[in-house]
Structure 1
Amino acid sequence: MDEGIVTGEGVLLDTRPTSFVSRLLAALLDLVVLGIVAIAAVIVLVQIEFEPSTTLLIVIVATVTVVVPTALDTLTRGRSVGKLVVGIRIVRDDGGPVRLRQAFVRALVGLGELWMTFGSVALVCAIFHPQGKRVGDVLAGTYGVRVRGKVSRSTPVVAMPPQLAPWAATADVRRLPDGLALSVRQFLIRTRTLHPGSRAELGTQLATEVERYVAPAPPPGTHPESFLAAVLAERRQREYARTEAARQRDAHDSALMRRLPHGVPDPVD
């Protein structure tokens, strides 16, 4: 079985950190893109004959070095132009996608470790860190992984245990945090490969964490693995039902929008 984390986009993330060379190449490509943005901004200002000032220069530098990288990493979930070309992604330490906070911390710290020191601080940190992290990654709780753009064919669907279906249908199952949901899914997929002792300990630990998001508790004597499978299967079913209802509602609204107003009958083809 392939080792990895399957994201909600159906992309298999390699759990091994990406190589330093890949990170460096992606950073250089991103630098080229940011340079083009900066040059374009200068050309526009020259064309409109705008009077340069210290404040304007500060705004341009902040935009190119902090605002643009933060926006790119947030909107693309850790896949800027350079990372997309090289085939890597920045993820949180728990495997989840980066958010605005992590992207901003990485960009803000990068102002010092990348721009002001010409990347020397990031280079030294990445060489000696076991996961190839730079200072911004350490502070933001992120790291780079290789992305294989394919749907994982070896990842089975977690099925609902029949004996827990009636309980799950009426239980209040809240949305699990991304990191916890990924941990539960990966555990259920790999149960047969785990040592029995570790399997029992980890299953009990995950079930205890998941139980905080479920009410009422499962029937007494429920096995932790069955409980975890029931929660994931029920969440998947409810998300599908919600998505299908939204799709049907949109189709109905679209049909109403196409109808003629004031009771005029629709033309017959």
Structure 2
Amino acid sequence: MRRSVLTSEAVSLDLPAVSLITRGATLLLDLFVYGLLLLAMMLLLGAFGAPAAANEAAAAAVMTATVIFCLVVVPVAVETLSRGRSPGKWVFGVRVVRDDGGSIRFRHALLRGLVLILELFTMGMLSVVCALVTRRGKRFGDLVAGTYGVASRHPRMRPMMLPVPPMMSSWTQVADIGRLPEDLAVQTGRLLRTVEQSGRARNMRALEAVAEELAAEVRQYVSPQPPASSPFELLAAVMAERRNREYQRLVSAQHRQQRLLSRLAGA
């Protein structure tokens, strides 16, 4: 589930919100880890806190402080220092961010930690209901703090190495393709990568229909108009030429940087 987020700088970010199952798994793992910490501290208090056990009020105060420390203070500190991560979120590749896509701060982590106690008293049902009715699958703590969970790990994609079709090579040398919108380029790249990986797939007719729609949009942003070709050839030519020009630009920038460093070293 992907959600578009508009930052305070009016930049649209496409952040993938995690599912309810993943959020539940991260919470269970976090509770397990912090529960182990609580158990370890209880055992230490039982071994070295014999004087406090003589006073029931003092023992209750120490136990309450220990529970708050393990279930509120430690999780809040971990999320604050790691900018939205925790043991469970690290395992499942999840990060908590603000509604505008930025990193959370101490106040966000504190609100989430305090509300978590209330959510635990309801056996997690409050979180489940909130996640089901909210647009980004937020739990109740997210609603209070103004945060939500996003996936921080993405599958590594193999670079697309489709060459420029021979019949389009002369056109790509003079074509202006710099006005192609980034979202259109991303959609085109996904389509070509699907075709490259699947070959003659059973749904080739559907892919051809999508390619014709994308090719019609691409023609609006390139100049001069391309020669007669199939939609796949046009899309492959445009994306391959974009890749080649970007590579040349990076190589030129690297050479300029090396020359500058050489001059600075000589000076």
State the TM bucket, normalised to the shorter chain.
Answer: 0.5 to 0.7
Q: Paired residues, what number?
A: 194
Distance 1:81 1:175 in 2: 42
> What amino acid is aligned across from residue 166 of structure 2 in structure 1?
P
SS of 1:19's equivalent in the other structure is helix
Classify 1:230/1:176 alpha carbon distance in 2 versus 1 (closer, same or farther; 3 Å).
same
Q: Partner letter of residue 101 of structure 2?
A: A
Query: C-alpha distance in 1, partners of 2:154/2:101?
Result: 22
Alignment deviations for residues 122-151 of structure 1 (CA, whole Å, 9 cap, x no partner): 54343x3799732779xx9x97447366x5
- 1:206-221 to 2 correspondences below 5 Å: 206-219=214-227, 221=228
In structure 1, what is the Cα distance between the partners aligned to 2:137 and 2:257? 44
In the alignment, does 2:162 pair up with 1:158? Answer: yes
Distance in 1, matches of 2:179 and 2:74, equals 38
Which of 61, 70, 91 is 1:86 aligned to?
91
Equivalent residue, structure 1, for 2:101: 103
Q: Secondary structure at the match of 1:134?
A: coil
Question: C-alpha offsets along residues 189-244 of structure 1, whole Å, 9 cap, x if unaligned?
Answer: 2233252331221111122233333222211x221111111111111111111100
Matched-pair contact (CA < 8 Å) for 2:22–2:92: no
Structure label with greater radius of gyration: 2
C-alpha separation between the residues in 2 aligned to 1:26 and 1:208? 49
Match of 2:129 in 1: 124
RMSD: 4.6
Distance 1:167 1:33 in 2: 61
Q: CA separation of 1:233/1:212 partners in 2, compared to 1, >3 Å: closer, same or farther?
A: same
Pick from 1, 21, 27 the counterpart of residue 24 of structure 1: 27
Instruction: Write the letter of the residue equivalent to 1:36.
Output: A
The answer for the alignment partner of 1:202 in structure 2 is 210
1:23-42 superposed matches below 5 A:
23-24=26-27, 35-36=76-77
Larger relative contact order (Cα-Cα within 8 Å, sequence gap ≥ 6): 1
Gap regions ≥5 residues in structure 1: 1-13, 39-63, 74-79, 91-97, 261-269
**Structure 2 SS opposite 1:166:** helix
Unaligned runs of 5+ in 2: 1-15, 34-71, 120-125
TM-score by length of 2: 0.53
Which of 178, 188, 194 is the matching residue for 2:192?
188
